[in-house]
Amino acid sequence: MTTKAALFVGAALLAAAVWSCQPQPSTLTPTATSSTTATPLPPPATATHSPTPLPPTATRTLSPTPEPPTATPSLTPTPTPDWVDLAGQCAALTVAGCADVERLARAPFYEITARVNLAPPQPVIDGQQRVRYWNRSDQPMPEIYFRLYPNDATYGGTLEVTSVRVDGALVAPRLSVGDTVLAVPLPQPLPPGGQVDLTLEFRTTVPLDSEIHYQIFTYTREMAALANFYPALAVYDGEGWDLDPILPQGDVAYVEAAFHRLTLTAPSGVVVAASGTEVARQGHADGTVTYTLVSGPSRDLGLALSPRYQVATQMAGEVAVRSFYLPEDEEAGRKLLGHAADALAIYERRFGPYPYNEFDVVESPIGAGGMELPGMTLIQDEQYGRTDGYDEFLVAHEVAHQWWYNLVGNDPQEHAWVDEGLTNYSAIVYFEDREGRSQEGRTLSWYLRDPYGRLEPEQDLPANLLVDAYVDPIYYRVVYAKAGLFFHELRQRLGDEAYFRLLRQYVAENRYGIVTSPQVLDYWISQAGVDVTDLVERWITGGSLRE
């Protein structure tokens, strides 16, 4: 998830540092070269959040009912057709990251063609996507499921699928779970090891000036935040397809790593920030521009657009770090660029390599402090220009999500502590590396100990509950702060060498996979080399032990 819940705590956070960074140019949109200096920084203001109820759940078949297929498609493995271009995915990756492509050859592959229209009365995205799906389970699959996240009340938009084809044959899908689940029937069950191609045509409408939930799907103040704008494959795990209703707390999207190729047409005056790397661009006589991007293996595909964005770039090793900001926020945009570049370098040393060749920090009209997407983070526009250090904490937290969410995935509604607790503690590691170990206690108190200490004993819940077990500000204080202290205590028990070695091993073993809360706890208990069961019970599985 993100540090968005931290906005709901109202905790006094301070940070002080003066650092400098040196940007260089990159690709996709017009860039500028600059230097960035952070200034001493004091505590963030309080913000609140009121969740929005879920829509009722129902099941219905899309109408009109299409004609039946004229032939029975073959669902047995066949040679990969030309449209699935795995080799081209390396354009989004570092040299080391490109080695992951062949290893993940049976990950889902999306080819999405979309046109964005931001003109009144309401922004729309018209699109078509082809998806190659492999059955990597040991059970035959009679249906394939997609999640239509914009239809949920926490998004406030609509995602209408207008036609679905299976290996070229038109089929009649079914909607359920408040129109957030689309079931695609197959002419015959997809056997283990089999593959199928699905083609979906869709239209997505984007709410204007949304004030719903985290507002990660909106067009506001000439900025569009477009998280999860297309039909996303549901996750098939050890219990089958995950089709649970969406809870109105915490992060929402739960998706598996996949390859994406996006051909996006947008008005020529709009600057596009996106997950992945641009590989082609073409202007048209109608005043539009078509961008072609590839993602490499990534958890999702995010977009942010604005006709007002300015761009500055800085290199962090092999990675081009870019900051998209409004003209009036140039100083803050360049400052956050430096923080992001520093965070990437620190986390690569601590956790292992970042596989992509780009990372974007994007000023956005979202209602949360920050929101993670693969290869990019959205930072709330209200955070630009702060002088209290919270903006730097947001960036450090969100960059860490590239490891704890994107590389190592988890269900953000069922196992939120798995990424949020570790991401929050990773931000403490960032400040420690920047300021020196002598400052660790200060930042640990501001961001973890003090928020956790404000819990009443009866509010001190286990950290491994469903997100709807918590209300704000308990959600942050338990899932972010208390769970973050678990990772701090693990580090104290194991020592730095063993702790960071095991974190790097954790990433390597679960790279692009999905972990659950029991799996994470079993990992630390079995690999620690010392008894850590008391830490698990104290910080994660148990309630308050305080008087």
The band of 543, judged by pLDDT with boundaries at 50, 70 and 90, is confident
- In this structure, of 81-90, 132-141, 347-356, 395-404, the range with the lowest mean pLDDT score is 81-90
- CATH annotation of 88-309: 2.60.40.1730
Mean pLDDT on 476-481: 98
H or E element in which residue 324 lies: strand 319-325
Sequence-ordered alpha helix ranges (H) in 19-134? 99-103
Determine the average pLDDT of the residues in 183-205: 98
Position 59 scores a pLDDT of: 56
Question: What whole-number percentage of the chain has pLDDT above 70?
Answer: 84
Query: Is the pLDDT confidence value at 406 over 50?
Result: yes
Q: How confident is the model at residue 28 (pLDDT cuts 50, 70, 90)?
A: very low
Is the pLDDT at 80 greater than 90, yes or no? Answer: no
DSSP assignment of 152-188: STTT-SEEEEEEEEETTEEE--EEETTTTEEEEEEEE
pLDDT at 326 over 60: yes
* Alpha-carbon span 413 to 293, nearest angstrom: 30
Q: What one-character DSSP code corresponds to residue 43?
A: P
Give the range among 10-24, 80-94, 264-278, 343-357 with minimum mean pLDDT. 10-24
Q: Tell me how far apart the alpha carbons of residues 109 and 117 are, in angstroms, rounded to a whole number.
A: 25
Angle at 311 between CA 122 and CA 229, to 5 degrees: 35
pLDDT at 74: 43
Mean pLDDT of 149-165: 97
CB 149 within 8 A of CB 204: no
Checking if the pLDDT of 285 tops 50, the result is: yes
Q: Which pLDDT does position 147 carry in this prediction?
A: 98
Q: Show the tokens assigned to 338.
A: 């430096």
Lowest-confidence region among 13-17, 133-137, 181-185, 250-254:
13-17
pLDDT band at 62 (very low <50, low <70, confident <90, very high): low
pLDDT of residue 60: 62
Give the per-residue pLDDT at 8. Answer: 38
What is the arithmetic mean of pLDDT over 101-125?
96
Q: Residue 50: is its pLDDT beyond 80?
A: no
Identify the pLDDT of residue 37: 28
Percent of the chain with pLDDT over 90: 80
**Quick check: 357 and 318 in contact, CB under 8 A?**
yes
Nearest to 309 by CA among 122, 30, 34, 38: 30
**Domain boundaries defined on the chain:** 88-309
Write out pLDDT tens, residues 257-271.
999 999 999 999 999
- Please list, residue by residue across 72-101, b when 16 or more beta carbons sit within 10 angstroms of its beta carbon and e when fewer do: ebebeeeeeeeebeeeebbbbbbeebbebb
Task: Give the model's confidence band at 196: pLDDT under 50 very low, under 70 low, under 90 confident, else very high.
Answer: very high
Specify the higher pLDDT residue, 153 or 59: 153
